[in-house]
Structure 1
């Protein structure tokens, strides 16, 4: 805890004073342009990866960057999507998966979830990933099989995202675009799912 407390002290002493006016504006309202749906994984830091600032991204995180389409109870992901699209009027929704995703590892080895009933139930929502596996990429090396499934999960969850009533309505009205991304932790690079080509391509051409 001391590390966090010291970090907050530094924020109060060095960061906040320089950006006081920005935080003053954010204190009473927000108008993010993007809803960023990603995994709970501690290695994914959207503002660091994308160079965004406080107030830019409305973020939803859950293991496996899952967008449920059928649950008997209320879930935070779809509630967040509804709020972002219908109240905040975001213009883009980005669904971002990542390499070495523990959720998809677990989906490949279900017995390890026997003592995690809630996680096991949640991961039923990634079953469609197996139907959307992407071609193996030699650049993924020994992890090609897992990376193929993780990319497939991005496609599956992107379809679930489009099925959300608020999203479908906003897209029909022409005020919302959705995007599927895959973030490679080792290289720091992002791939986007090309809807026309039905494959992942580099977000930034080199």
Structure 2
């Protein structure tokens, strides 16, 4: 904890004075362009990966970068999606999975989660990806896990499209969806090409999007 405190002290002493104008502007309003949905994993930091300044990203983080389908009892994720799209007017939504994801590892290994009932219930929102993953064969455990992560990104893109605000944005062509896969070891990012269903290097294909 002391490292965290010392980090804040450095921010207040060294970083904030260089960005006073930015924080004064942000103190009364925000206008992020993108809703970024990713995993709670400590190794995945959206602002670092995108080199975004404060105010640029509206972020949802949870185990497995999951977005439950819209339902009669919307939860915190649904409320955040709705606010980002309908109130803040974000123009893009990114759902970003990552290599070595603990949540997806538990699914691929069929880990017994009876002692973690909340986790088990949450991961049911990835059942479609799980079914696809189990129907295929892979050359290695790493390949199976990476495929599960990507299939989960696709599944969550489908889930988020059931949210009314998102459906309206897509229909009116004011909103685009993006599916990303971040490889922690290489620092590389793959992006889902909605036309082909393939994940391609974002560095080489910066123009592609999922929906």
127-136 vs 170-179, greater mean Cα deviation: 127-136
76-85 vs 102-111, greater mean Cα deviation: 102-111
Aligned length: 204
Aligned residues of 2:108 and 2:148 also touching (Cα < 8 A): no
Residue 203 of structure 1 aligns with which residue? 202
Residue 162 of structure 2 aligns with which residue? 163
What are the superposed Cα offsets for residues 10-51 of structure 1, whole Å, 9 maximum, x if unpaired?
Answer: 111100111111100000100000000001110001111111
Residue 84 of structure 1 aligns with which residue? 84
5+ residue gaps, structure 2? 206-211
- 2:147 and 2:31 mapped to 1: Cα distance? 35
Aligned residues of 1:99 and 1:183 also touching (Cα < 8 A): yes
In the alignment, structure 1 residue 32 sits paired with structure 2 residue 63: no
User: What displacement does 1:142 show?
Assistant: 4.7
- 1:18 and 1:153 mapped to 2: Cα distance? 40
The residue correspondences of 1:31-50 to structure 2 (distance < 5 A) are 31-50=31-50
5+ residue gaps, structure 1? none
- 2:187 and 2:137 mapped to 1: Cα distance? 19
Any idea what SS the aligned residue of 1:35 has? strand
Task: Give runs of ≥4 in structure 1 deviating > 6 Å.
Answer: 134-138
Aligned residues of 1:39 and 1:64 also touching (Cα < 8 A): yes
User: What displacement does 1:132 show?
Assistant: 4.4
Aligned residues of 1:132 and 1:153 also touching (Cα < 8 A): no
What are the superposed Cα offsets for residues 59-117 of structure 1, whole Å, 9 maximum, x if unpaired?
Answer: 00110111101566432111110000000000000111111111111112344311101
What is the TM-score normalised by the length of structure 2?
0.90
Residue 192 of structure 1 aligns with which residue? 191
65-74 vs 27-36, greater mean Cα deviation: 65-74
Question: What RMSD over aligned residues (CA atoms) do the two structures have, in Å?
Answer: 2.0
Aligned residues of 1:132 and 1:156 also touching (Cα < 8 A): no
Aligned residues of 1:162 and 1:168 also touching (Cα < 8 A): yes
The residue correspondences of 1:3-152 to structure 2 (distance < 5 A) are 3-69=3-69, 73-133=73-133, 142-152=141-151
- 2:109 and 2:76 mapped to 1: Cα distance? 26
